Structure 1
Amino acid sequence: MQVIQSIQNRIYEIRGERVMLDFDLAALYEVETKVFNQAVKRNIKRFPKDFMFRLTNEEWSDLRSQIVTSSVQIIDNHRNQRSQIVTSNSVKGNRYLPYAFTEQGVAMLSGVLNSDRAIQMNIAIMRAFVETRRIFLQQTDLKGQLQELKERVGGHDAQLNQIYDALENLLDEKAAARKWDERERIGFKK
């Protein structure tokens, strides 16, 4: 479960897709990013644009602060490798921008990387994506339930306001009646 949590921390949302970055995948597969990307490029036909894409400078700038902040949470074995990757990727220009792999792209990696570690990690990554999707669906369901509750409470508020108004009217009528009964009488007194 801890491995899945570690993987989930490396899943980002970019362009409306949940993706993992090349250097995160390389660290999980215990290979250098350069070697990882070379294996992908040798099998580039397996990775169409909806499976893998390169981040833009703007996307990378937005993510970089998150990645550097979260690098403290990286497994101790990969801490040094991660900091070198972040440093090398901070060079300007498209050459060093990381690749992002969608869930389908990660699944396709199983046909490219065949070591025992890669197979085990690929299974764990796919489980992490499934767990992330399950959590997202639960959150969506909770949002729907909250909206329904808000609508109900809103309806109750209107009904309560009507009750309060009616009570105020009754109290006003009683106060007026009391004033009428307690008024100073004029005329003949007994």
Structure 2
Amino acid sequence: MEDFNQTDNQRIVEKIYLIRGIKVMLDKDLAEMYGTIPIRLRQQVSRNKERFPEHFMFQLNEQEVGDMVSQNVIPSRQSLGGALPYVFSEHGILMLANVIKSQQAIAMSIKIIEVFIKFREMLISQKDLLLKFEQLEKLIIQHDDDIHVIFQTLKQLIQQESEPREPIGFKIKS
């Protein structure tokens, strides 16, 4: 099996897109990584349709392809091979390794799944950081309110006119 490095991880990350709220990879990118051609990958998928429910794999529509091209994610529609591409979620990618069955496909699937797992871990740590920031913000706001009250009270004390006060202490009767 091939030894993968940080460059491979970066290459995988660059091929992951967010479509319909799901992180997916294009069939042409997966075919390249698995050492096959997109039409062969699609043939294998069509022979095993029952393994690929909608949340594992779906075909992009014209609007989604147009959006990807207009956002310069894909250089042109031609680079997609002239057809509406299929995209695969993390689960679909894992299932592809069972369908393609080459050693390269198995190794790449494992590597891709590891990248997806790192994404989830980063998301969880970001949520933890966000929660801590929110707690800190609430604390700062509370302190700001307290400091504001202290300054208001000090201003009131300074602005009060000093009235003559009766001296305190022992009084001598005269």
Q: TM-score range by the shorter chain?
A: 0.7 to 0.9
**Contact 2:28-2:80 within 8 A present in 1 as well:** no
Partners in 2 of 1:89 and 1:131 — Cα distance? 27
How many percent of aligned residue pairs carry the same amino acid? 35
Pick aligned residue for 2:148 from 161, 165, 189: 161
Pick aligned residue for 2:105 from 118, 125, 128: 118
Over the aligned positions, Cα root-mean-square deviation in angstroms equals 2.1
Q: Is the partner of 2:24 in helix, strand or coil? A: strand
Partners in 1 of 2:32 and 2:81 — Cα distance? 18
Q: Post-superposition shift, 1:52?
A: 0.5
- The aligned length equals 158
Matched with 1:101 is: 88
TM-score by length of 1: 0.75
CA separation of 1:115/1:19 partners in 2, compared to 1, >3 Å: closer, same or farther? same
Q: Post-superposition shift, 1:121?
A: 0.6
Structure having the larger proportion of residues in helix: 1
Pick aligned residue for 2:13 from 8, 14, 19: 8
Identify unmatched segments of 5+ residues in structure 2: 1-5, 165-174
Q: Post-superposition shift, 1:90?
A: 8.0
Matched with 1:185 is: none
**Contact 1:8-1:132 within 8 A present in 2 as well:** no
Q: Is the partner of 1:112 in helix, strand or coil? A: helix
Is residue 141 of structure 2 the alignment partner of residue 141 of structure 1? no
Letter in 1 for 2:17: Y
Partners in 2 of 1:22 and 1:132 — Cα distance? 20
TM-score by length of 2: 0.81
Partners in 1 of 2:60 and 2:150 — Cα distance? 58
CA separation of 1:90/1:37 partners in 2, compared to 1, >3 Å: closer, same or farther? closer
Larger mean Cα displacement after TM superposition, 96-105 or 1-10: 1-10
Q: Post-superposition shift, 1:135?
A: 0.8
Partners in 1 of 2:72 and 2:142 — Cα distance? 42
